[in-house]
Amino acid sequence: MYRDCPTGKRCFDSEVIAREALVQVRARHGYSESEGPQNVYRCDICHAFHFTSSSANSLSPEEKAREKREREARFWEDKFKNR
């Protein structure tokens, strides 16, 4: 999954994998709508996909719903770990 890119960014082999990782990262870190990575793009240098924070959030309604569910699941996991 990871290749080296001169940009130093994490590389993803496909847009599908990158978009799923984007949902997971946004959920894990609890970014607001305008914070953190917002989109994915294909790199002209290494031809892999990377995250970018420079464009508007491009999560589809389905991806936003998955991000919300993932945040809720992480919340409850953390709550039960600390019992």
Query: What pLDDT, in 10s, does the model give residues 32-68?
Result: 888 899 999 999 999 999 999 877 667 888 988 999 9
Question: Distances from the Cα of 15 to the Cαs of 23, 31, 42, in angstroms?
Answer: 12, 21, 8
- The domain ranges of the chain are 15-81
Alpha-helical segments (H) within 1-83: 15-29, 61-81
Percent of the chain with pLDDT over 70: 93
Q: Does residue 8 register a pLDDT over 80? A: yes
Q: What is the mean pLDDT of the chain?
A: 88
pTM of structure? 0.79
Tracing tokens 């999954």 back to the chain, one arrives at: 1
Give exposure, 59-82, as e/b (b: 16+ Cβ within 10 Å): beeebeebbeeeeeeeeeeeeeee
pLDDT at residue 58, as a whole number: 79
pLDDT at residue 42, as a whole number: 95
